Amino acid sequence: MMKKLAALALLLSTAAQAHVTLETTSAASGSYYKAVLKVGHGCAGSPTTGISVELPEGAQLARPMPKAGWQVQVSKSAVKPFDNHGSVVKEDVSRISWTGGNLPGDFYDEFVFQTRIAAQPGKLYFKVTQQCAQGSNNWVEIPADGQDAHSLKFPAAVLQVTEPGQAHQH
Parse the chain into domains and list their residue ranges.
22-162
For residue 105, the one-letter residue type is G
Q: Are 151 and 19 in contact (CB under 8 A)?
A: no
- pLDDT band at 18, cuts 50/70/90? low
Other beta carbons within 10 angstroms of residue 79's beta carbon come to 15
Q: Are 115 and 55 in contact (CB under 8 A)?
A: yes
Write out the H or E segment, with its range, that includes residue 28.
strand 26-28
Judge whether residue 19 has pLDDT over 90: no
- pLDDT band at 16, cuts 50/70/90? very low
| pLDDT tens digit sequence for 112-142 | 999 999 989 999 999 999 999 999 999 999 9
The architecture (CATH level 2) of 22-162 comes to Sandwich (2.60)
pTM: 0.86
